[in-house]
Structure 1
Amino acid sequence: MARIYAGGVDGNRSLERGIEILRAFRPGVDTLGNGEIAERTGLPRSTVSRLTRTLVNSGMLDEVRNQRSYRLAASVISIGHAMRTGSPVLNAIGPMMRAESARRRLNVGLATADRTMMVYLESIRYSPRAALRNVVAGQQVPMELTSLGRAYLAGIAETERERLLKQFERRSAAATKALLADVRRSISAIARDGYCAVSWQPAVLAVATPIVLDGLPVYALNMSLQNVERSEALAGEMGAYLNAFAAKCKEVLTGG
């Protein structure tokens, strides 16, 4: 969906637009031309042409001249690597997540919000089958459809939560009243039980809880199992594991 630019005085509009061009590249997309970028971002094509040249010169995009298109340069992944290796949160609880995944024989993930999506910061996949180890750090999932997203919504301020719920309703006809009601039920479940359980993909059960600590963004921690049928008993068992593990993570992050 194209974005409308307000050009506010609080930021650098050219920088913001350049970042939007980088955001136009999504998983599965190798190259984009100026016209495609303009369509994805809502920016004038002349502006896109000027900024893609700047991004090439700065090493953020590579130009594919024979196709008149661009692809993300290697320097982009180095920025993500710097974020992950420098994160005090991942350094503190990443090893704990790996140990918990092996102990419980289930998947463990940590995510935070990227606009109306959730982005995995760490994803430990417990499966002997490589085909099932397909969720990696940097991957995005819909906020309103997933346990991670609903846990995040439960952890943020009510005004911000309501703003996001309105965005879900506007961006997709799939965000029906029934879906939004289900989101609110998940938020209520977290207030009651400490976690919510969601099966947004076939044969996958995931439970998630928010990690809310002073001085840090709101995170969502989840556990999931693949090739299972959802049941209240299984969700309750996983939820108990998750609540106990989340408490340990919070203790480590607060130096308790």
Structure 2
Amino acid sequence: MGLDLLDTVWRTAAPRPGAPDLTGVVSRRHRLADAARVADAATVADAARRKTPPRKAPGADFVEALAHGLALLECWKGHEVWLSNSELSDRCGLTRTTVSRLTSVLVDQGYLAREGRRGRVRLTASTLALGFGSAFSVLPADAAQAELESLARELDVYAALSIRRVDRVQILENVASPFHPDAVRMDVGGLLPLCRSASGLAALSAMPEREAVPLVTQLKMRYGERWDPLHRQLVRTRQEYMRKGYCTSVAALSPVVGAVAMPMIPIGGHDMFVLACGMSAREFFPERVERDIAPLMALAAQKLTAAMAA
């Protein structure tokens, strides 16, 4: 299948003006494929055996506590989400007592989130904001966290906020349902493929023709013989986005994932954000999406858009 149909889809219609029809908004639970887990396990085991690489001798203005804190934040590898103080101690070469003090401070400052009172910790959107300040200068990290937590709690879903990075979407923050805390397998900073995930398809569908068509050409070359089914999915989701303002996807990234995603573009901005929530494909029912998820998702989108404009 060539690009003619895709060109036609982009040129002959456009999303409805005004607020999108959110009768289906965002639903998804991320799970890694078994092969990916095996590969990641080997990477994690190798990382655990290594200590922090030697650094240059510190100067007179060296602040040891700051260096230790930064070393701690460098411990996350691959697709990891939660790490214990014991694992952090092994990786950064600090004592468990020092690690415990550091994690407590970083949790208090919002750079780490804790699982329970004394449980494992993970990176947060505030940590990612240190490296991606442009994204969070548009959308404050605390606003994103609050809205995702509300969605995850009220809807019993996995909720995520991503930003488009050329031919990927990158997770800025994610929150698991408190009733299914082990459902999340994607880490903050993780990358999702543009045409094989609900968030990526939503971002691609919302692009103007001048950006979308050259990018789709590149994707076609990358995927080769695997492109035709991806192209058909893209055409379908683009048409769905034009009608409703969101994209749905079942088994695009994983056979057990059903998802819906909605792009958000700040007024006068260039970054494209994607709001998403998810669940098992077995629990993905259009009736529930329309009755329960859509109203709360619409409210969250309005709040996030307002935060972008503030």
* CA-to-aligned-CA distance 1:3-52 (integer Å, 9 cap, x gap): xxxxxxxxxxxxxxxxxxxxxxx967578xxxxxxxxxxxxxxxxxxxxx
Which residue of structure 2 aligns with residue 206 of structure 1? 259
With over 3 angstroms needed to count, the CA separation of the structure-2 counterparts of 1:98 and 1:231, relative to structure 1, is closer
What letter matches 1:165 in structure 2? V
8 Å CA contact 1:85, 1:91 repeated in 2:
no
- Matched with 1:248 is 303
How many residue pairs end up in the alignment? 195
In structure 2, the CA distance between the partners of 1:203 and 1:233, relative to structure 1 (3 Å rule), is farther
Q: Which residue of 2 aligns with 1:225?
A: 279
2:282 is paired with a residue of what secondary structure?
coil
Relative to structure 1, the CA distance from residue 130 to residue 95 in structure 2 (aligned partners, 3 Å threshold; closer, same or farther) is closer
Residues 198 and 235 of structure 1, relative CA distance in 2, 3 Å threshold: farther
AA aligned to 1:83 is G
After superposition, residues 108-187 of structure 1 pair within 5 angstroms as 108-126=159-177, 128-173=179-224, 175-187=226-238
Distance in structure 1 (CA, Å) of the matches to 2:129 and 2:303: 26
What is aligned with 2:90? none
Q: What residue is the counterpart of 2:131 in the other structure?
A: 83
| Cα distance change on mapping 1:219 and 1:163 into 2, 3 Å | same
Q: 1:85 to 1:169 in 2, by over 3 A?
A: closer
- Higher mean alpha-carbon deviation, 239-248 vs 83-92, is at 83-92
Distance 1:188 1:93, change over 3 A: same
Q: Is the 8 A contact 2:156 2:179 kept in 1?
A: no
Going from structure 1 to structure 2, the CA distance change for 1:227 and 1:190 (only over 3 Å counts) comes to: closer
1:234 and 1:117, CA in 2 relative to 1: closer, same or farther beyond 3 A? same
1:205–1:235 Cα contact (<8 Å) kept: no
Secondary structure of 1:215's counterpart equals coil
Runs (5+) with no aligned partner, structure 1: 1-25, 32-55, 59-72
Deviations, residues 173-220 of structure 1 (Å, cap 9, x unaligned) = 354223212112112212211211112222322111110112240111
Query: Residue 203 of structure 1 contacts residue 229 of structure 1 at CA under 8 Å; is this kept in 2?
Result: no
TM-score normalised by structure 1 residue count = 0.64
Does the CA-based 8 Å contact 1:168-1:175 persist in structure 2? no
Q: Which amino acid aligns with 1:248?
A: K
> How far does residue 228 in structure 1 lie from its aligned partner after superposition?
2.4
Q: Give, in angstroms, the shift of residue 242 of structure 1.
A: 2.5
Cα deviation, residue 164, structure 1: 1.6
SS in 1 for 2:142: helix
5+ residue gaps, structure 2: 1-38, 47-53, 57-70, 77-110, 112-126
Letter matched to residue 244 of structure 1: L
Q: TM-score, normalised by structure 2?
A: 0.54
Cα offset, 1:109, TM superposition: 0.7
Give the Å deviation of 1:80: 4.1
Q: Tell me the percent identity.
A: 17
C-alpha root-mean-square deviation of aligned residues, in Å? 3.3
Deviation at 1:114, TM superposition (A): 2.5
Q: In the superposition, relative to structure 1, how do residues 106 and 129 fare at CA in structure 2: closer, same or farther (>3 Å)?
A: closer
Matched-pair contact (CA < 8 Å) for 1:195–1:243: no
